[in-house]
Structure 1
Amino acid sequence: MRRTARLLSGTALAVAAAGLATVPAHAGDTTAAGRLEVSPSSVVPGDEATVSTSACDEDGAAEGDAGAVGSGRFPLAPDTPGDEVVGRFEVPPSAQPGTYEIVVTCAESGRRVTGDLEVTLTAVREQVYPRGSVKTGVGGALGPDPVQTAAGVTALAVAAAGGTWLLHRRARGDGI
């Protein structure tokens, strides 16, 4: 029984080793170790997107495919000599919200890199902070009507004086 288990495990190990030996490590591998940068990563339909990668720097050129989002093929060229290749494409106005894969194939080596582009219906804008005064209709120290401001201050002063007088009478026991 034990001998049969050893024989089966030894055979399985030999088959696994033979299977690993027949798989080429990098020969014909079309997926590059580099990444495809998509900027901006989130767009609305009608916006332009830029892609760049350093995986094709020795090739000098590449072709991009944004067919998944409906833009088709577009060229990529070196940004500066020996640096990244860069390309641009426009997301069509008919694009539906979702995440789309953008593929770039290097011209000479055939390496492929991919990146994701997210299409949304609302644009991501930077935070806008309010400036100036808030129009509440009450006015203020520098408000539009100094007469109303003075009347309001007078009304508050009279109310405070009346409240103090009533509290003083109650504390003495005179009643209200």
Structure 2
Amino acid sequence: MRRTARLLTGTALTVAATGLATAPAHGGETGSLLVYPSTTMPGSQVTVNTAACGEKGAALGDAGAVGAGVFTLAPSTHEGEAIGRFRVPPSAQPGTYEIVAKCAEGTKQVTGDLVVALNAVHEQVQPRGSVKTGVGGALGTDPVQTAAGVTALAVAAAGGTWLLHRRARGDGI
């Protein structure tokens, strides 16, 4: 009895693991509506795509929740997905809105979320300032101290050159 239970449990685990291993690994899941960018500002353009309608399937999108109305999703060559675009109205209020797409053939419907924010920033920020490495900067930026340091280096270089010149002539040190 115990042996049969172990055998059935092992078989069930193997089937479950095999099922998980064969799940689609690419970004276009076949049951969701991908919204890009998922967070945007009023007046921005949004792209949606889905692979739920099949290889050559089209869909009708509805962004009425955010006030953008109806749009179409046309078949594309990108992983068999249908792709569409709409513009978020400038009057849209901050919040999370559900975007819906219904496949043209059949009754399949997929949804995705769009977050509208007033401060959504999509530009790259350039770094400013200095890097704190712990090297240099002991004298600071005072011009008098900098000039004194340069003068001390110049005197040391001139003295070293003079000593090397005397040694080369044979005058000794």
Q: Tell me the amino acid that sits aligned with residue 144 of structure 2.
A: A
Asked if structure 2 preserves the Cα contact closer than 8 Å seen for 1:59 and 1:107, the reply is no
Q: 1:116 aligns to what SS in structure 2?
A: strand
Measured after TM superposition, the shift of residue 42 of structure 1 is 0.2
Higher Rg of the two aligned structures: 1
Q: How high is the sequence identity, in percent, across the aligned residues? A: 61
How many Å separate the matches in 1 of 2:84 and 2:52? Answer: 14
How many Å separate the matches in 2 of 1:151 and 1:47? Answer: 54
1:46 aligns with 2:43: yes
Unaligned runs of 5+ in 2: 1-29, 132-136, 150-173
Q: State the aligned residue count.
A: 114
Q: Tell me the amino acid that sits aligned with residue 115 of structure 2.
A: E
How many Å separate the matches in 2 of 1:52 and 1:125? Answer: 20
Asked if structure 2 preserves the Cα contact closer than 8 Å seen for 1:59 and 1:106, the reply is no
Q: 2:144 aligns to what SS in structure 1?
A: helix
Worse-matched range after superposition: 51-60 or 91-100: 51-60
Choose from 63, 88, 100 the match for 1:103.
Answer: 100
Measured after TM superposition, the shift of residue 129 of structure 1 is 3.4
How many Å separate the matches in 2 of 1:150 and 1:116? Answer: 59
Aligned to 1:70: 67
Is the alpha carbon distance of 1:123 and 1:82 closer, same or farther for their aligned partners in structure 2, counting shifts above 3 Å? closer
Q: TM-score, normalised by structure 1?
A: 0.56
Aligned to 1:151: 144
Aligned to 1:17: none
Once the two structures are superposed, the pairs formed by residues 82-161 of structure 1 within 5 Å of their partners are 83-126=80-123, 128-131=125-128, 149-153=142-146
Question: What CA RMSD, in Å, does the superposition of the two structures yield over aligned residues?
Answer: 3.2
Structure 1 runs of 4+ with >2 Å offset: 124-127, 129-134, 152-156
Residues 130-169 of structure 1 show CA distances to partners (whole Å, capped at 9, x for unaligned) of 24669xxxxx8xxxxxxx844144799xxxxxxxxxxxxx
Measured after TM superposition, the shift of residue 79 of structure 1 is 1.3
Q: TM-score, normalised by structure 2?
A: 0.57
Is the alpha carbon distance of 1:45 and 1:81 closer, same or farther for their aligned partners in structure 2, counting shifts above 3 Å? closer
Q: Tell me the amino acid that sits aligned with residue 39 of structure 1.
A: Y
Unaligned runs of 5+ in 1: 1-32, 135-139, 141-147, 157-176
Q: Tell me the amino acid that sits aligned with residue 58 of structure 2.
A: A
